[in-house]
Structure 1
Protein backbone atom coordinates (compact mmCIF):
# COMPACT_ATOMS: atom_id res chain seq x y z
CA UNK A 1 0.00 0.00 0.00
CA UNK A 2 1.30 3.46 -0.81
CA UNK A 3 0.37 6.42 1.34
CA UNK A 4 0.70 9.94 0.04
CA UNK A 5 -0.47 11.82 3.13
CA UNK A 6 -4.16 11.59 2.39
CA UNK A 7 -6.52 9.44 4.42
CA UNK A 8 -5.92 5.75 3.63
CA UNK A 9 -8.86 3.84 2.26
CA UNK A 10 -8.54 1.12 4.89
CA UNK A 11 -7.13 0.88 8.36
CA UNK A 12 -7.71 -1.33 11.36
CA UNK A 13 -11.15 -2.95 11.49
CA UNK A 14 -13.18 -1.35 14.27
CA UNK A 15 -14.04 -4.76 15.70
CA UNK A 16 -10.41 -5.93 15.83
CA UNK A 17 -9.70 -7.53 19.19
CA UNK A 18 -13.37 -7.93 20.08
CA UNK A 19 -13.68 -10.65 17.44
CA UNK A 20 -10.64 -12.34 18.94
CA UNK A 21 -11.56 -12.12 22.59
CA UNK A 22 -9.61 -8.90 23.19
CA UNK A 23 -5.94 -8.05 23.08
CA UNK A 24 -3.38 -10.11 24.98
CA UNK A 25 -3.41 -9.18 28.70
CA UNK A 26 -0.55 -7.12 30.06
CA UNK A 27 0.35 -9.77 32.60
CA UNK A 28 1.24 -12.15 29.76
CA UNK A 29 3.98 -10.01 28.21
CA UNK A 30 7.57 -9.48 29.28
CA UNK A 31 9.66 -6.97 27.31
CA UNK A 32 13.31 -6.04 27.88
CA UNK A 33 15.42 -3.54 25.99
CA UNK A 34 18.91 -4.78 25.18
CA UNK A 35 22.04 -2.65 24.65
CA UNK A 36 22.68 -1.09 21.25
CA UNK A 37 26.43 -0.94 20.48
CA UNK A 38 27.53 2.69 20.51
CA UNK A 39 29.09 2.52 17.06
CA UNK A 40 25.72 1.38 15.62
CA UNK A 41 23.53 4.00 17.30
CA UNK A 42 23.03 5.81 13.98
CA UNK A 43 21.65 2.59 12.49
CA UNK A 44 19.69 0.95 15.32
CA UNK A 45 17.17 2.78 17.51
CA UNK A 46 16.48 -0.03 19.99
CA UNK A 47 17.05 -3.74 20.48
CA UNK A 48 14.40 -5.74 22.30
CA UNK A 49 13.41 -9.14 23.67
CA UNK A 50 9.69 -10.00 23.78
CA UNK A 51 8.23 -13.01 25.56
CA UNK A 52 4.68 -14.25 25.90
CA UNK A 53 3.72 -17.79 26.87
CA UNK A 54 0.08 -17.57 25.77
CA UNK A 55 -1.04 -19.91 23.00
CA UNK A 56 -3.02 -17.20 21.16
CA UNK A 57 -1.71 -13.63 21.05
CA UNK A 58 -3.39 -10.57 19.50
CA UNK A 59 -2.09 -7.01 19.45
CA UNK A 60 -1.47 -4.03 17.20
CA UNK A 61 1.87 -2.73 15.92
CA UNK A 62 1.85 1.08 15.69
CA UNK A 63 3.18 2.70 12.53
CA UNK A 64 6.92 2.18 12.73
CA UNK A 65 10.31 2.21 11.13
CA UNK A 66 11.80 -1.04 9.81
CA UNK A 67 12.64 -4.00 12.07
CA UNK A 68 14.90 -7.03 11.68
CA UNK A 69 13.82 -9.71 14.14
CA UNK A 70 14.19 -13.37 15.05
CA UNK A 71 11.05 -15.27 16.00
CA UNK A 72 12.75 -17.87 18.17
CA UNK A 73 9.35 -19.22 19.18
CA UNK A 74 5.93 -18.67 17.65
CA UNK A 75 4.42 -18.08 14.22
CA UNK A 76 2.02 -15.34 13.30
CA UNK A 77 0.24 -13.17 10.78
CA UNK A 78 0.23 -9.40 10.32
CA UNK A 79 -2.78 -7.64 8.83
CA UNK A 80 -2.37 -4.63 6.59
CA UNK A 81 -4.87 -2.26 4.99
CA UNK A 82 -7.28 -3.28 2.25
CA UNK A 83 -7.67 -6.78 3.65
CA UNK A 84 -4.11 -7.99 2.96
CA UNK A 85 -2.23 -10.25 5.40
CA UNK A 86 1.26 -11.80 5.44
CA UNK A 87 2.79 -14.58 7.58
CA UNK A 88 5.80 -14.29 9.87
CA UNK A 89 9.07 -16.15 9.32
CA UNK A 90 12.01 -17.34 11.42
CA UNK A 91 13.94 -14.17 10.47
CA UNK A 92 11.64 -11.26 9.68
CA UNK A 93 12.24 -7.99 7.89
CA UNK A 94 9.31 -5.78 8.84
CA UNK A 95 9.29 -2.90 6.40
CA UNK A 96 8.34 0.64 7.51
CA UNK A 97 4.65 0.81 8.40
CA UNK A 98 2.66 3.82 7.22
CA UNK A 99 -0.27 3.02 9.55
CA UNK A 100 -0.87 0.68 12.50
CA UNK A 101 -1.09 -3.04 11.71
CA UNK A 102 -2.79 -5.74 13.82
CA UNK A 103 -1.07 -9.07 14.30
CA UNK A 104 -1.77 -12.52 15.69
CA UNK A 105 0.77 -15.07 16.91
CA UNK A 106 0.37 -18.71 17.82
CA UNK A 107 2.51 -18.86 20.93
CA UNK A 108 4.50 -19.18 22.98
CA UNK A 109 6.06 -16.13 21.36
CA UNK A 110 9.70 -15.13 21.87
CA UNK A 111 11.23 -12.48 19.58
CA UNK A 112 14.59 -10.73 19.60
CA UNK A 113 15.01 -7.83 17.23
CA UNK A 114 16.37 -4.47 16.20
CA UNK A 115 14.39 -1.37 15.27
CA UNK A 116 16.27 0.33 12.43
CA UNK A 117 16.64 4.06 11.93
CA UNK A 118 15.92 5.37 8.41
CA UNK A 119 19.69 5.41 7.90
CA UNK A 120 19.96 1.84 9.16
CA UNK A 121 17.11 0.69 6.93
CA UNK A 122 18.77 2.16 3.86
CA UNK A 123 22.26 0.95 4.72
CA UNK A 124 21.17 -2.62 5.49
CA UNK A 125 18.46 -3.27 2.91
CA UNK A 126 19.04 -0.80 0.08
CA UNK A 127 15.26 -0.87 -0.41
CA UNK A 128 13.12 2.14 -1.25
CA UNK A 129 11.12 2.53 1.97
CA UNK A 130 7.90 3.74 0.32
CA UNK A 131 7.90 1.15 -2.45
CA UNK A 132 8.32 -1.64 0.10
CA UNK A 133 6.24 -0.26 2.98
CA UNK A 134 3.68 -2.34 4.87
CA UNK A 135 5.15 -5.82 4.44
CA UNK A 136 6.74 -8.53 6.56
CA UNK A 137 9.39 -10.20 4.40
CA UNK A 138 11.37 -13.38 4.90
CA UNK A 139 14.68 -11.69 5.73
CA UNK A 140 16.85 -13.97 3.60
CA UNK A 141 14.78 -13.17 0.50
CA UNK A 142 16.01 -9.58 0.73
CA UNK A 143 19.27 -9.78 2.68
CA UNK A 144 20.62 -13.10 1.41
CA UNK A 145 20.90 -16.64 2.71
CA UNK A 146 23.35 -15.89 5.52
CA UNK A 147 20.73 -14.27 7.73
CA UNK A 148 18.45 -17.26 7.23
CA UNK A 149 21.20 -19.67 8.31
CA UNK A 150 22.05 -17.49 11.28
CA UNK A 151 18.39 -17.34 12.28
CA UNK A 152 18.19 -21.14 12.45
CA UNK A 153 21.41 -21.31 14.50
CA UNK A 154 20.22 -18.58 16.86
CA UNK A 155 16.79 -20.15 17.27
CA UNK A 156 18.21 -23.59 18.02
CA UNK A 157 20.71 -22.12 20.48
CA UNK A 158 18.01 -20.07 22.20
CA UNK A 159 15.65 -23.03 22.53
CA UNK A 160 18.40 -25.27 23.92
CA UNK A 161 19.65 -22.62 26.33
CA UNK A 162 23.08 -22.45 24.69
CA UNK A 163 22.46 -18.84 23.58
CA UNK A 164 20.89 -16.08 25.65
CA UNK A 165 18.79 -13.27 24.24
CA UNK A 166 21.73 -10.96 24.94
CA UNK A 167 24.02 -13.24 22.91
CA UNK A 168 21.63 -13.18 19.97
CA UNK A 169 21.07 -9.43 20.14
CA UNK A 170 24.83 -8.87 20.07
CA UNK A 171 25.19 -11.22 17.10
CA UNK A 172 22.28 -9.52 15.31
CA UNK A 173 23.91 -6.13 15.87
CA UNK A 174 27.18 -7.50 14.49
CA UNK A 175 25.35 -8.71 11.40
CA UNK A 176 23.74 -5.32 10.84
CA UNK A 177 27.06 -3.54 11.28
CA UNK A 178 28.94 -5.89 8.96
CA UNK A 179 26.30 -5.77 6.21
CA UNK A 180 25.29 -2.10 6.18
CA UNK A 181 26.54 -0.03 3.28
CA UNK A 182 27.38 3.66 3.29
CA UNK A 183 24.63 6.15 2.48
CA UNK A 184 25.61 9.22 0.42
CA UNK A 185 26.75 12.06 2.68
CA UNK A 186 24.20 14.50 1.29
CA UNK A 187 21.41 12.05 2.03
CA UNK A 188 22.76 11.41 5.55
CA UNK A 189 22.61 15.16 6.12
CA UNK A 190 19.05 15.32 4.80
CA UNK A 191 17.96 12.47 7.09
CA UNK A 192 19.55 14.22 10.09
CA UNK A 193 17.90 17.54 9.17
CA UNK A 194 14.52 15.81 8.85
CA UNK A 195 14.95 14.22 12.28
CA UNK A 196 15.73 17.64 13.74
CA UNK A 197 12.65 19.08 12.06
CA UNK A 198 10.43 16.33 13.49
CA UNK A 199 11.95 16.88 16.94
CA UNK A 200 11.39 20.62 16.93
CA UNK A 201 7.63 20.56 17.47
CA UNK A 202 4.67 18.22 17.71
CA UNK A 203 3.25 19.91 14.61
CA UNK A 204 6.31 21.24 12.74
CA UNK A 205 5.90 23.70 9.90
CA UNK A 206 6.54 22.18 6.48
CA UNK A 207 8.14 25.38 5.20
CA UNK A 208 10.77 25.09 7.94
CA UNK A 209 11.80 21.72 6.52
CA UNK A 210 11.99 22.87 2.93
CA UNK A 211 13.82 26.08 3.83
CA UNK A 212 16.47 24.23 5.83
CA UNK A 213 17.44 21.70 3.16
CA UNK A 214 18.30 23.64 0.02
CA UNK A 215 16.49 21.19 -2.25
CA UNK A 216 13.37 21.60 -4.34
CA UNK A 217 10.15 20.42 -2.75
CA UNK A 218 9.95 17.54 -5.20
CA UNK A 219 13.51 16.46 -4.39
CA UNK A 220 12.73 16.52 -0.66
CA UNK A 221 9.61 14.44 -1.19
CA UNK A 222 11.51 11.84 -3.25
CA UNK A 223 14.32 11.46 -0.72
CA UNK A 224 12.00 11.28 2.29
CA UNK A 225 9.93 8.60 0.57
CA UNK A 226 13.13 6.68 -0.15
CA UNK A 227 14.42 6.71 3.44
CA UNK A 228 11.38 7.30 5.68
CA UNK A 229 8.72 5.66 3.53
CA UNK A 230 6.47 8.73 3.47
CA UNK A 231 6.42 12.23 1.95
CA UNK A 232 6.74 15.17 4.36
CA UNK A 233 3.02 15.74 5.01
CA UNK A 234 2.36 12.10 5.87
CA UNK A 235 5.61 11.78 7.84
CA UNK A 236 4.61 14.76 9.96
CA UNK A 237 1.18 13.21 10.59
CA UNK A 238 2.68 9.86 11.55
CA UNK A 239 5.17 11.25 14.09
CA UNK A 240 2.69 13.78 15.47
CA UNK A 241 0.26 10.96 16.26
CA UNK A 242 2.93 8.63 17.65
CA UNK A 243 4.51 11.26 19.88
CA UNK A 244 1.13 12.59 21.03
CA UNK A 245 0.09 9.06 21.93
CA UNK A 246 3.35 8.47 23.80
CA UNK A 247 2.80 11.62 25.84
CA UNK A 248 -0.89 10.99 26.51
CA UNK A 249 -0.03 7.48 27.71
CA UNK A 250 2.19 8.81 30.50
CA UNK A 251 0.90 8.39 34.07
CA UNK A 252 1.16 12.16 34.58
CA UNK A 253 1.11 14.96 32.03
CA UNK A 254 1.30 18.63 32.97
CA UNK A 255 -2.02 20.37 32.09
CA UNK A 256 -0.30 23.01 29.97
CA UNK A 257 1.55 20.34 28.05
CA UNK A 258 -1.62 18.30 27.56
CA UNK A 259 -3.18 21.38 25.97
CA UNK A 260 -0.18 21.68 23.64
CA UNK A 261 -0.66 18.09 22.58
CA UNK A 262 -4.33 18.65 21.87
CA UNK A 263 -3.63 21.96 20.11
CA UNK A 264 -1.39 20.13 17.64
CA UNK A 265 -4.60 18.75 16.07
CA UNK A 266 -7.50 20.59 14.45
CA UNK A 267 -9.94 19.34 17.06
CA UNK A 268 -10.52 16.38 19.37
CA UNK A 269 -12.24 14.15 16.75
CA UNK A 270 -9.28 14.78 14.43
CA UNK A 271 -6.84 13.78 17.19
CA UNK A 272 -8.81 10.60 17.89
CA UNK A 273 -8.85 9.66 14.20
CA UNK A 274 -5.14 10.31 13.73
CA UNK A 275 -4.04 8.41 16.84
CA UNK A 276 -6.36 5.53 15.94
CA UNK A 277 -4.95 5.38 12.41
CA UNK A 278 -1.26 5.49 13.27
CA UNK A 279 -1.27 3.90 16.75
CA UNK A 280 -4.22 1.53 16.61
CA UNK A 281 -5.88 2.83 19.79
CA UNK A 282 -8.12 5.71 20.71
CA UNK A 283 -6.62 8.21 23.19
CA UNK A 284 -8.94 6.83 25.88
CA UNK A 285 -7.27 3.40 25.56
CA UNK A 286 -3.67 4.58 25.56
CA UNK A 287 -3.29 3.95 29.30
CA UNK A 288 -5.07 0.57 29.13
CA UNK A 289 -3.08 -1.87 31.27
CA UNK A 290 -4.03 -4.61 28.83
CA UNK A 291 -1.84 -3.10 26.10
CA UNK A 292 1.78 -3.78 27.08
CA UNK A 293 3.01 -4.12 23.51
CA UNK A 294 1.71 -0.63 22.75
CA UNK A 295 3.35 0.76 25.89
CA UNK A 296 6.73 -0.58 24.84
CA UNK A 297 6.40 0.65 21.24
CA UNK A 298 5.61 4.14 22.56
CA UNK A 299 8.50 4.13 25.02
CA UNK A 300 10.76 7.21 24.93
CA UNK A 301 13.65 5.12 23.59
CA UNK A 302 11.78 4.53 20.34
CA UNK A 303 11.98 8.24 19.52
CA UNK A 304 15.71 8.56 20.12
CA UNK A 305 16.52 9.23 16.47
CA UNK A 306 14.40 12.39 16.54
CA UNK A 307 15.62 13.56 19.93
CA UNK A 308 13.13 11.74 22.14
CA UNK A 309 9.93 13.43 23.27
CA UNK A 310 9.35 17.08 24.15
CA UNK A 311 10.06 17.98 27.78
CA UNK A 312 7.03 17.38 29.98
CA UNK A 313 7.06 19.16 33.32
CA UNK A 314 4.66 16.59 34.64
CA UNK A 315 7.22 13.82 34.23
CA UNK A 316 10.87 14.62 34.86
CA UNK A 317 11.93 11.30 33.40
CA UNK A 318 11.64 12.57 29.83
Structure 2
Protein backbone atom coordinates (compact mmCIF):
# COMPACT_ATOMS: atom_id res chain seq x y z
CA UNK A 1 0.00 0.00 0.00
CA UNK A 2 2.73 2.43 0.91
CA UNK A 3 4.70 1.33 -2.12
CA UNK A 4 1.81 2.18 -4.47
CA UNK A 5 1.48 5.62 -2.92
CA UNK A 6 5.10 6.38 -3.54
CA UNK A 7 4.86 5.36 -7.19
CA UNK A 8 1.79 7.56 -7.64
CA UNK A 9 3.57 10.47 -6.03
CA UNK A 10 6.57 9.95 -8.32
CA UNK A 11 4.47 10.09 -11.48
CA UNK A 12 2.59 13.11 -10.23
CA UNK A 13 5.83 14.98 -9.55
CA UNK A 14 7.22 14.04 -12.94
CA UNK A 15 4.09 15.39 -14.61
CA UNK A 16 4.33 18.60 -12.67
CA UNK A 17 7.93 19.18 -13.64
CA UNK A 18 7.22 18.38 -17.29
CA UNK A 19 4.99 21.47 -17.43
CA UNK A 20 7.84 23.78 -16.54
CA UNK A 21 10.75 25.00 -18.80
CA UNK A 22 13.52 22.52 -18.97
CA UNK A 23 16.97 23.83 -18.28
CA UNK A 24 18.22 21.58 -21.05
CA UNK A 25 16.56 23.77 -23.81
CA UNK A 26 18.21 26.99 -22.81
CA UNK A 27 20.15 28.80 -25.68
CA UNK A 28 18.41 26.78 -28.46
CA UNK A 29 18.08 29.34 -31.28
CA UNK A 30 15.93 26.97 -33.37
CA UNK A 31 13.32 26.76 -30.65
CA UNK A 32 10.04 28.52 -31.42
CA UNK A 33 10.43 30.38 -28.15
CA UNK A 34 14.16 30.40 -27.31
CA UNK A 35 15.19 31.30 -23.78
CA UNK A 36 18.24 31.56 -21.66
CA UNK A 37 20.08 33.29 -24.47
CA UNK A 38 23.31 35.13 -24.10
CA UNK A 39 23.77 38.59 -25.57
CA UNK A 40 25.49 37.15 -28.59
CA UNK A 41 22.75 34.62 -29.07
CA UNK A 42 20.15 37.34 -28.78
CA UNK A 43 21.95 39.35 -31.54
CA UNK A 44 22.10 36.25 -33.68
CA UNK A 45 18.43 35.57 -33.06
CA UNK A 46 17.57 39.20 -33.85
CA UNK A 47 19.60 39.04 -37.03
CA UNK A 48 17.98 35.74 -37.92
CA UNK A 49 14.54 37.26 -37.44
CA UNK A 50 15.50 40.22 -39.60
CA UNK A 51 16.82 37.90 -42.31
CA UNK A 52 13.61 35.91 -42.20
CA UNK A 53 11.67 39.19 -42.42
CA UNK A 54 13.81 40.32 -45.37
CA UNK A 55 13.42 36.93 -46.98
CA UNK A 56 9.68 37.19 -46.59
CA UNK A 57 9.80 40.70 -48.01
CA UNK A 58 11.93 39.48 -50.94
CA UNK A 59 9.44 36.72 -51.65
CA UNK A 60 6.64 39.28 -51.59
CA UNK A 61 8.64 41.59 -53.85
CA UNK A 62 9.37 38.69 -56.21
CA UNK A 63 5.70 37.90 -56.28
CA UNK A 64 4.92 41.53 -56.95
CA UNK A 65 7.58 41.64 -59.68
CA UNK A 66 6.14 38.53 -61.27
CA UNK A 67 2.72 40.12 -61.12
CA UNK A 68 4.12 43.32 -62.61
CA UNK A 69 5.86 41.29 -65.34
CA UNK A 70 2.60 39.61 -66.15
CA UNK A 71 0.90 42.98 -66.26
CA UNK A 72 3.74 44.35 -68.40
CA UNK A 73 3.33 41.46 -70.81
CA UNK A 74 -0.36 42.28 -70.99
CA UNK A 75 0.44 45.94 -71.56
CA UNK A 76 3.05 44.97 -74.12
CA UNK A 77 0.44 42.96 -75.95
CA UNK A 78 -1.94 45.89 -75.75
CA UNK A 79 0.78 48.31 -76.90
CA UNK A 80 1.63 45.97 -79.77
CA UNK A 81 -2.01 45.95 -80.83
CA UNK A 82 -2.23 49.71 -80.49
CA UNK A 83 1.05 50.01 -82.39
CA UNK A 84 -0.46 48.07 -85.27
CA UNK A 85 -3.46 50.33 -85.14
CA UNK A 86 -1.20 53.39 -85.13
CA UNK A 87 0.71 51.94 -88.08
CA UNK A 88 -2.53 51.47 -89.98
CA UNK A 89 -3.59 54.98 -89.02
CA UNK A 90 -0.22 56.26 -90.22
CA UNK A 91 -0.70 54.49 -93.56
CA UNK A 92 -4.19 55.96 -93.83
CA UNK A 93 -2.82 59.40 -93.03
CA UNK A 94 -0.17 58.99 -95.70
CA UNK A 95 -2.85 58.04 -98.22
CA UNK A 96 -4.95 60.99 -97.10
CA UNK A 97 -1.92 63.25 -97.39
CA UNK A 98 -1.21 61.95 -100.90
CA UNK A 99 -4.86 62.41 -101.84
CA UNK A 100 -4.80 65.86 -100.28
CA UNK A 101 -1.81 66.76 -102.46
CA UNK A 102 -3.66 65.51 -105.52
CA UNK A 103 -6.77 67.37 -104.40
CA UNK A 104 -4.69 70.49 -103.91
CA UNK A 105 -3.36 70.14 -107.45
CA UNK A 106 -6.90 69.65 -108.72
CA UNK A 107 -8.04 72.66 -106.71
CA UNK A 108 -5.26 74.79 -108.23
CA UNK A 109 -6.26 73.56 -111.67
CA UNK A 110 -9.89 74.37 -110.96
CA UNK A 111 -8.86 77.80 -109.72
CA UNK A 112 -7.13 78.37 -113.04
CA UNK A 113 -10.25 77.30 -114.93
CA UNK A 114 -12.42 79.50 -112.74
CA UNK A 115 -10.12 82.47 -113.36
CA UNK A 116 -10.34 81.84 -117.10
CA UNK A 117 -14.12 81.63 -116.88
CA UNK A 118 -14.21 84.86 -114.89
CA UNK A 119 -12.05 86.54 -117.51
CA UNK A 120 -14.33 85.22 -120.24
CA UNK A 121 -17.35 86.40 -118.29
CA UNK A 122 -15.84 89.85 -117.98
CA UNK A 123 -15.11 89.88 -121.71
CA UNK A 124 -18.66 88.69 -122.41
CA UNK A 125 -20.04 91.46 -120.22
CA UNK A 126 -18.03 93.97 -122.23
CA UNK A 127 -19.31 92.44 -125.44
CA UNK A 128 -22.87 92.55 -124.10
CA UNK A 129 -22.39 96.21 -123.24
CA UNK A 130 -21.12 96.87 -126.73
CA UNK A 131 -24.04 94.93 -128.20
CA UNK A 132 -26.47 96.95 -126.10
CA UNK A 133 -24.82 100.09 -127.39
CA UNK A 134 -25.07 98.83 -130.95
CA UNK A 135 -28.70 97.86 -130.39
CA UNK A 136 -29.32 101.37 -129.13
CA UNK A 137 -27.82 102.76 -132.30
CA UNK A 138 -29.94 100.40 -134.37
CA UNK A 139 -33.01 101.49 -132.43
CA UNK A 140 -32.19 105.13 -133.22
CA UNK A 141 -31.91 104.31 -136.89
CA UNK A 142 -35.02 102.10 -137.01
CA UNK A 143 -37.36 105.02 -137.68
CA UNK A 144 -35.11 106.22 -140.47
CA UNK A 145 -34.93 102.72 -141.93
CA UNK A 146 -38.69 102.26 -141.72
CA UNK A 147 -39.20 105.57 -143.55
CA UNK A 148 -36.66 104.95 -146.28
CA UNK A 149 -36.33 101.16 -146.56
CA UNK A 150 -37.60 99.70 -149.80
CA UNK A 151 -39.67 96.67 -148.82
CA UNK A 152 -39.77 93.52 -150.93
CA UNK A 153 -43.29 94.41 -152.07
CA UNK A 154 -42.11 97.85 -153.10
CA UNK A 155 -39.04 96.28 -154.69
CA UNK A 156 -41.19 93.90 -156.72
CA UNK A 157 -43.53 96.75 -157.60
CA UNK A 158 -40.60 98.79 -158.88
CA UNK A 159 -39.21 95.80 -160.73
CA UNK A 160 -42.57 95.35 -162.42
CA UNK A 161 -42.06 98.77 -163.99
CA UNK A 162 -39.12 97.44 -166.00
CA UNK A 163 -39.45 96.32 -169.55
CA UNK A 164 -40.01 92.56 -169.48
CA UNK A 165 -38.04 90.12 -171.57
CA UNK A 166 -41.20 89.22 -173.45
CA UNK A 167 -41.77 92.89 -174.25
CA UNK A 168 -38.17 93.23 -175.28
CA UNK A 169 -38.38 90.10 -177.42
CA UNK A 170 -41.53 91.42 -179.08
CA UNK A 171 -39.80 94.70 -179.87
CA UNK A 172 -36.70 92.86 -181.03
CA UNK A 173 -38.75 90.69 -183.40
CA UNK A 174 -40.19 93.79 -185.00
CA UNK A 175 -36.86 95.57 -185.36
CA UNK A 176 -34.70 92.49 -186.12
CA UNK A 177 -36.67 89.85 -187.99
CA UNK A 178 -33.62 87.64 -188.51
CA UNK A 179 -32.75 87.31 -184.76
CA UNK A 180 -35.14 84.39 -184.12
CA UNK A 181 -33.59 82.41 -186.94
CA UNK A 182 -30.13 83.10 -185.52
CA UNK A 183 -31.21 82.01 -182.01
CA UNK A 184 -32.71 78.78 -183.37
CA UNK A 185 -29.48 78.07 -185.24
CA UNK A 186 -27.43 78.73 -182.08
CA UNK A 187 -29.79 76.50 -180.07
CA UNK A 188 -29.05 73.64 -182.38
CA UNK A 189 -25.35 74.22 -181.83
CA UNK A 190 -25.85 74.00 -178.02
CA UNK A 191 -27.79 70.74 -178.06
CA UNK A 192 -24.68 68.59 -177.92
CA UNK A 193 -23.45 70.15 -174.63
CA UNK A 194 -24.75 69.91 -171.09
CA UNK A 195 -26.23 72.99 -169.48
CA UNK A 196 -23.48 72.96 -166.84
CA UNK A 197 -20.77 72.96 -169.53
CA UNK A 198 -22.54 75.74 -171.39
CA UNK A 199 -22.84 77.80 -168.22
CA UNK A 200 -19.12 77.43 -167.48
CA UNK A 201 -18.26 78.30 -171.08
CA UNK A 202 -20.52 81.35 -171.01
CA UNK A 203 -19.06 82.47 -167.68
CA UNK A 204 -15.53 82.22 -169.08
CA UNK A 205 -16.56 84.32 -172.08
CA UNK A 206 -18.26 86.82 -169.75
CA UNK A 207 -15.09 87.16 -167.65
CA UNK A 208 -13.14 87.85 -170.85
CA UNK A 209 -15.79 90.43 -171.85
CA UNK A 210 -16.58 88.46 -175.01
CA UNK A 211 -20.23 89.40 -174.73
CA UNK A 212 -21.20 88.71 -178.35
CA UNK A 213 -20.40 85.02 -177.82
CA UNK A 214 -21.62 84.85 -174.21
CA UNK A 215 -25.07 86.43 -174.68
CA UNK A 216 -26.51 83.64 -176.89
CA UNK A 217 -25.31 80.99 -174.41
CA UNK A 218 -27.05 82.61 -171.45
CA UNK A 219 -30.19 83.30 -173.48
CA UNK A 220 -30.25 79.57 -174.27
CA UNK A 221 -29.75 78.70 -170.57
CA UNK A 222 -32.57 81.08 -169.58
CA UNK A 223 -34.81 79.37 -172.11
CA UNK A 224 -33.81 75.98 -170.60
CA UNK A 225 -34.36 77.43 -167.10
CA UNK A 226 -30.84 76.46 -166.01
CA UNK A 227 -29.67 78.72 -163.18
CA UNK A 228 -32.20 81.29 -164.42
CA UNK A 229 -31.57 83.90 -161.72
CA UNK A 230 -27.81 84.04 -162.26
CA UNK A 231 -28.11 83.69 -166.03
CA UNK A 232 -30.51 86.67 -166.18
CA UNK A 233 -28.16 88.67 -163.96
CA UNK A 234 -25.19 87.99 -166.26
CA UNK A 235 -27.27 88.98 -169.30
CA UNK A 236 -28.24 92.20 -167.50
CA UNK A 237 -24.59 92.90 -166.73
CA UNK A 238 -23.57 92.50 -170.35
CA UNK A 239 -26.33 94.81 -171.62
CA UNK A 240 -25.46 97.27 -168.82
CA UNK A 241 -21.83 97.41 -169.99
CA UNK A 242 -23.12 97.99 -173.52
CA UNK A 243 -25.19 100.84 -172.05
CA UNK A 244 -28.47 99.35 -173.16
CA UNK A 245 -30.05 100.16 -169.79
CA UNK A 246 -33.58 99.08 -170.67
CA UNK A 247 -32.44 95.59 -171.59
CA UNK A 248 -30.19 95.49 -168.53
CA UNK A 249 -33.08 96.45 -166.24
CA UNK A 250 -35.31 93.81 -167.83
CA UNK A 251 -32.82 91.04 -166.99
CA UNK A 252 -32.02 92.52 -163.56
CA UNK A 253 -35.73 92.56 -162.75
CA UNK A 254 -36.21 88.91 -163.75
CA UNK A 255 -33.13 87.83 -161.78
CA UNK A 256 -34.22 89.66 -158.60
CA UNK A 257 -37.75 88.27 -158.79
CA UNK A 258 -36.43 84.74 -159.20
CA UNK A 259 -33.92 84.90 -156.31
CA UNK A 260 -33.00 87.99 -154.30
CA UNK A 261 -30.39 86.34 -152.03
CA UNK A 262 -27.70 85.74 -154.66
CA UNK A 263 -24.13 86.95 -154.35
CA UNK A 264 -24.84 89.29 -157.26
CA UNK A 265 -27.58 91.32 -155.53
CA UNK A 266 -25.38 94.27 -154.39
CA UNK A 267 -24.03 94.71 -157.94
CA UNK A 268 -27.50 94.21 -159.42
CA UNK A 269 -28.98 96.93 -157.18
CA UNK A 270 -26.12 99.32 -157.91
CA UNK A 271 -26.29 98.85 -161.68
CA UNK A 272 -30.08 99.08 -161.59
CA UNK A 273 -29.81 102.43 -159.78
CA UNK A 274 -27.19 103.66 -162.25
CA UNK A 275 -29.38 102.51 -165.15
CA UNK A 276 -32.30 104.52 -163.77
CA UNK A 277 -29.99 107.46 -163.19
CA UNK A 278 -28.76 107.35 -166.78
CA UNK A 279 -32.36 107.10 -167.94
CA UNK A 280 -33.12 110.26 -165.89
CA UNK A 281 -35.45 108.32 -163.57
CA UNK A 282 -34.03 109.94 -160.41
CA UNK A 283 -36.84 108.73 -158.10
CA UNK A 284 -36.25 105.04 -158.86
CA UNK A 285 -32.50 105.55 -158.88
CA UNK A 286 -32.68 107.05 -155.38
CA UNK A 287 -34.80 104.16 -154.11
CA UNK A 288 -32.37 101.57 -155.41
CA UNK A 289 -29.35 103.44 -154.02
CA UNK A 290 -30.99 103.60 -150.57
CA UNK A 291 -32.03 99.95 -150.70
CA UNK A 292 -28.47 98.92 -151.54
CA UNK A 293 -26.98 101.01 -148.71
CA UNK A 294 -29.44 99.69 -146.13
CA UNK A 295 -29.48 96.04 -147.23
CA UNK A 296 -25.72 95.70 -147.78
CA UNK A 297 -24.13 98.51 -145.73
CA UNK A 298 -20.64 96.97 -145.62
CA UNK A 299 -20.39 96.17 -149.33
CA UNK A 300 -18.13 98.03 -151.75
CA UNK A 301 -21.25 98.63 -153.89
CA UNK A 302 -22.88 100.50 -150.98
CA UNK A 303 -19.78 102.68 -150.65
CA UNK A 304 -19.98 103.41 -154.38
CA UNK A 305 -23.68 104.25 -154.03
CA UNK A 306 -22.92 106.77 -151.28
CA UNK A 307 -20.39 108.48 -153.52
CA UNK A 308 -22.85 108.68 -156.41
CA UNK A 309 -25.61 110.07 -154.15
CA UNK A 310 -23.30 112.76 -152.77
CA UNK A 311 -22.46 114.09 -156.23
Q: Same fold (TM over 0.5)?
A: no
Tell which has more relative contact order, 1 or 2 (C-alpha 8 A, sep 6+): 1
Calculate the TM-score normalised by the size of structure 1.
0.19
Larger radius of gyration: 2
Calculate the TM-score normalised by the size of structure 2.
0.20
The structure in which a higher percent of residues are strand is 1
